Amino acid sequence: MIPNPEFTDAQSTSQSTDPRMTKLAEYAGRLGFEVVDIAGFLDSVDQQSQHQISVLGRVQTSASEVMIANGAVRDALGRVTDITNRTLQRVEGSVAFVRETGQKSQTVASWVKELAARMERVATSLEAVEANNANIADIARQVNILAINAKIEAARAGDSGRGFGVVAEAINELSQKTARAAEGIEENIETLSSWVGRLREEASGVSNDASHVIESSVEADRALTEIAQGVQESHGATRVVAAEADKVQQAVEAFQPAFDEIGKSARGTAEGIHVANTRVEDLIDTSETIFQTTVALGGASEDQGFITRVQEAASQISELFSSGIASGRISRGDLFDRSYTPLAGTDPAQHMARFTSFTDEVLPGVQEAMLTFDPKVVFCVAIDPNGYLPTHNKKFSQPQGKDPVWNAANSRNRRMFDDRVGLKAGRNKEPFLLQVYRRDMGAGTFVMMKDLSAPIFVDGQHWGGLRLGYTF
């Protein structure tokens, strides 16, 4: 508030109501209302602009981070592209090698399968030879029997059968040689059959393996072909992503200067709003001083009754405090002590001062009575110069619960109200101070209220002020 050295004298010497000063006081009150309303709006805009600047700063930082991250992505994509390119070349070479190897394996496997079939045919031929050899041996035995019989008959014939006996002997020898040859052939066939049998078993196993090799080579060829296709697709995808990353980089580089320009403009606007808000705060002080001066100079107003009552109540509290010191209920040191002890587990934070218990005893009698003299009155509380409010009205002094929002509205005692209005009310030493402010009702809703205060002196020493809040 702007100092007014003649304020006290003007208040004491005014004897009558001047209509012109009354009109001026009315205009001053309206001016105060409008200025505070504008100040509240500017304060909201100031907060929003500061928030927007903060958000814009984060956006600019994010854009820079996007550029850095996008550059890293582009580098990584370049490396991935090189790797996939080399991998593709290796896979294609492997596919060709495996395909060539598979073709050779298929040729060998086909030859093995054909060999198995040939062994089957050899075995069949050996079986036929063995059967024919058996027939030869049987014929040789029969010839041998016939030769023996011929020799017997030749012997019976005597000299006439001697020539026939010679022939029979020759036939007998031939049949024996044939039989021995047949036995040798049979032994060789059995040996050969044994070998062919083992070869057939081995050829059958190798044939199965050959079939598996053929199938596996086909599957391997198909798998490697699919791998090659996958690597080709990955290679193509990385190229597409790299192209898109280049577009992102170009876009970010394009809008980065725009962001910088917007940020510069926004900061300039925010600074202007902040300066305007500060100047409006000064204008509020000026309008309050004008109003108080016009009232002191004889300008009656609709607030005159409230002014008189709050000054009387402040005087009563001054007498109660002085009596308390005189009677020893509280020491002057405790009453003017400005140390505050936080109460654990409170939200919003509550504090105890060395005088809180004393004010809980003496203030309700004055403060509660002030709530009933006019329906516009919302609260009446004493506050010290630091904004500490020890004892509130009973309806605002409920025990705290678990909900901080409920506590803020219903547990307002033992709290620090060190905002502009609270501090000015606690530090004002003029006969009265009328302030207009926007009371936050929550959910973005504000109500215009008047805060009227009068100083509390204890044996000439300023203790604080008595605040009276009431609606328009």
Specify the pLDDT at position 127. Answer: 74
What is Dmax (Cα atoms) for the chain? Answer: 202
31-85 pLDDT, tens digit each: 665 666 576 666 667 667 777 777 777 766 766 777 687 677 777 767 777 777 7
Specify the pLDDT at position 433. Answer: 92
Q: Is-above-0.75 flag for pTM?
A: no
Token code pair at residue 424: 């000015």
Token code pair at residue 25: 């006081």
Helix, strand, coil tally for the chain in percent (to 5): 75, 10, 15
Structural contact between residues 67 and 252, judged by C-beta atoms closer than 8 angstroms: yes
How many of the other CB atoms lie within 10 Å of CB of 370?
A: 22
Cα 444 to its chain centre, rounded Å, is: 29
Structural contact between residues 329 and 355, judged by C-beta atoms closer than 8 angstroms: no
Q: What is the DSSP letter of 264?
A: H
Specify the pLDDT at position 7. Answer: 41
Specify the pLDDT at position 203. Answer: 64
Taking only Cα atoms into account, the Rg of the chain, rounded to an integer number of angstroms, comes to 60
Domains and CATH numbers, the chain: 68-259 (1.10.287.950), 300-472 (3.30.450.20)
C-alpha 51/C-alpha 274 separation (Å) is 13
Strand partners, 467: 381, 453
CA angle (276, 278, 281) in 5-degree steps: 110
Specify the pLDDT at position 8. Answer: 43
179-220 pLDDT, tens digit each: 777 777 777 777 777 776 777 676 666 666 666 666 666 676
Whether the CA torsion 161, 166, 171, 175 is positive or negative: it is: positive
Q: What is the DSSP letter of 438?
A: E
pLDDT at 154 over 50: yes
- For residue 411, count CB atoms less than 10 angstroms from its CB and return exposed for 0-12, middle for 13-18, buried for 19 or more: buried
339-359 pLDDT, tens digit each: 999 999 999 999 999 999 999
Q: Which residue in the block uniquely carries the two structure tokens 């654990």?
A: 344
Specify the pLDDT at position 297. Answer: 67
Q: What is the DSSP letter of 185?
A: H
pLDDT at 256 over 60: yes
Element housing 234 (H / E): helix 162-296
Specify the pLDDT at position 204. Answer: 65
Structural contact between residues 195 and 164, judged by C-beta atoms closer than 8 angstroms: no
Mean pLDDT calculated for residue range 329-338? 97
Specify the pLDDT at position 6. Answer: 40
Specify the pLDDT at position 18. Answer: 66
Cα 249 to its chain centre, rounded Å, is: 24
How many of the other CB atoms lie within 10 Å of CB of 452?
A: 23
Structural contact between residues 379 and 371, judged by C-beta atoms closer than 8 angstroms: yes
pLDDT at 387 over 50: yes
